[in-house]
Amino acid sequence: MSANKFICPSGKVVGVRQCLAECIECKRCLFLPTLRSIAKSLDRKLDTPTVTELIRGTRESYLCKTESYAVSPQDLMFSQLGSAVHEIQAGHGQGNMLSEERIKDDITSGQLDLYGSIYDKSNDTLGDYKVTSSYKLAKALGIYKVDVFTGKYFKSGLRKGLPKTRKDFRYDGVHDIYEWSLQLNYYRILLESQGFHVGRMYIQVFCRDYGLQIARDRGITQPVYVLPINRISDHWIKLYFATKAKRLQEALRDKQLPPQCNMRENWAYRKCENYCAVADFCPLGQAIKASKQEENNNKKSA
């Protein structure tokens, strides 16, 4: 199974093939070539689970493979933007480098963006393109805000006598690049299994909301950042992916719903509420959405 239905802006659900053949509304929500591109990106059938699928929660990956679910084309536009970034630069990976190569082993498979002489004088650098929000980018850069005393005090109002503060940025926070580190390190292992040596790893991150006030408020001052990725123990990485692959394969074999995603995988339930395409098939996702709906109804009736 897979995502084989689109959710129209009106809320109607229509099969992807039917949508591409003829729009059920008075006009399409997006240009037909755009919808065709989105439909093509959904139709990926690989023998082994990919690195990306194994990084996700096992329950989410299981439901994506076993349920016929619907997605909003509008919600997938940022992933299309990411694909466009890859496509634009794919043709320039010439010379002493590999580009857009898929490598697999007995556990999983992954498609490498770039490897070779791509960033400095070394010819053994592994690189990956990312398109993300200023929120996630700020966390990856370790940017946070602190209150700094201005030397002045409020002279009137409820806060009279209290010190005035301003927000200042700090850049020494925890760099939240856990998933990117998992991905690049397994790509490294895949490359090294083919006889290539990986000396350094980087991700080139495009901020999709750069230039907006919300990005400036988060300390993002440029559209693209290059971030180094540190090496993680081969033993730990292989054990992690082997364990995740075994859990997914056993669940698919036994047709048994895996345990719910952990807090990191479901973003402390935020993904269940707004960003998981298969939340409607998950008991936890159903409960969270029902609770949110009840909360909204209570607010309306208050």
* Per-chain mean pLDDT for the chain: 90
In the predicted structure, residue 87 carries a pLDDT above the cut 80: no
Give per-residue pLDDT as tens, 88-110: 666 555 566 788 888 999 999 99
Judge contact between 272 and 282, C-beta under 8 A: yes
What is the three-class DSSP state of 181? helix
pTM over 0.85: yes
pLDDT at 278: 94
For residues 153 and 160, give the distance between their C-alpha atoms in angstroms, rounded to a whole number: 7
> Would you place residue 21 in the very low, low, confident or very high pLDDT band (cuts 50, 70, 90)?
very high
pLDDT at 177: 96
> Would you place residue 45 in the very low, low, confident or very high pLDDT band (cuts 50, 70, 90)?
low
For residues 213 and 38, give the distance between their C-alpha atoms in angstroms, rounded to a whole number: 29
Give per-residue pLDDT as tens, 224-253: 999 999 999 999 999 999 999 999 999 999
| CA angle, 249 then 254 then 255, to 5° | 95
For residues 45 and 25, give the distance between their C-alpha atoms in angstroms, rounded to a whole number: 30
Q: List b or e across 81-107, with b for residues whose CB sees 16 or more CB atoms inside 10 angstroms.
A: ebbebbeeeeeebeeeebbebebbeeb
pLDDT average, residue stretch 181-202: 96
pLDDT at 93: 57
Q: Residues of the chain with pLDDT > 70: what percent?
A: 92
In the predicted structure, residue 193 carries a pLDDT above the cut 70: yes
